[in-house]
Amino acid sequence: MLLGGEAALANIVYNVDRTVGMGSVTGTITTDGNTGTLGLGDFLAWNLTLNGVDASYTINNTDSVIWGDPFGDVTATATDLYFNFSGSTGDIIFQEGESSGSHYYCDQAGATACFQGESDVPQYYTDSSAQIVGRTGTQIIGSVGGAVPEPSTWALMLLGFAGLGYAGYHRARKQSAAAIG
C-alpha cells in the first residue's frame, strides 16, 4: 500500500464436496483470490477425487488440465465458488488429458464439451462408474472451510487467557498468605 502499490490478493481454497448421482467429487480447488466472474486463469490448483460406482480416481493440477470456456458461468465470493448450470453454454472441466473422455469432473451449462449438468467420470464417460446429473440454476460447487480468526482476535483471546491466569495466580497467593498469617 505504501508507495502506491496495490495489495496482493490472497489465494482462496474452496472445499468441494458434491454428490453426483450415486457418486461424488471431493477435494479442493484453489483460485487466485479474485471474486466475481472467473476465467480459467483464475484457477491455480485443484486436488479432486472422482468417486463413481465401484471406481475412484484422483486428479490434481500436476497431472491434469483445466479447460473449457466458462462464458461467465463461474463466479466466486470470498466464501463460495458457484457455477450457473442454466447459463450461456459455459463449461469448466478438470481432466487428465484434454478431450480424452476419461478421468474428469465437468460443470456444463449447455451440451458442448461434456453433458449438460455435472459429470463425475472416474474412468471413461461411457463406463458404468460415470455419474452424470442434469442441473439447473446457480449452485455452490465449493465453499471455504471454517473461518480462521484474524490475528487481532487471537491477540485479544491470548491476552484474556493471560489475564485469567494472572488473576488465578494472584488470588491463590493471597489465599495462601491469609492462611499462614
pLDDT at 148 over 60: no
C-alpha 177/C-alpha 181 separation (Å) is 6
Nine-digit cell string for 94 = 478438470
Report which of 95, 92, 99 is spatially closest to residue 73, judged by C-alpha positions: 92
Q: Return the domain boundaries, the chain.
A: 2-143, 149-181
Contact (Cβ atoms closer than 8 angstroms) between residue 20 and residue 133: yes
Contact (Cβ atoms closer than 8 angstroms) between residue 42 and residue 31: yes
Higher pLDDT, 173 or 139: 139
Contact (Cβ atoms closer than 8 angstroms) between residue 48 and residue 60: yes
The reported pLDDT for the residue numbered 88 is 84
Q: Which of 8-22, 69-83, 89-103, 149-163 has the lowest mean pLDDT?
A: 149-163
Give strand pairing partners of 142.
81
Model confidence at 170, pLDDT cuts 50, 70, 90, reads low
Contact (Cβ atoms closer than 8 angstroms) between residue 39 and residue 70: yes
Contact (Cβ atoms closer than 8 angstroms) between residue 108 and residue 86: no
Model confidence at 175, pLDDT cuts 50, 70, 90, reads low
Model confidence at 122, pLDDT cuts 50, 70, 90, reads very high
Per-residue pLDDT tens digits for 58-105 = 999 999 999 999 999 999 999 999 999 999 889 999 999 888 999 999
Higher pLDDT, 148 or 53: 53
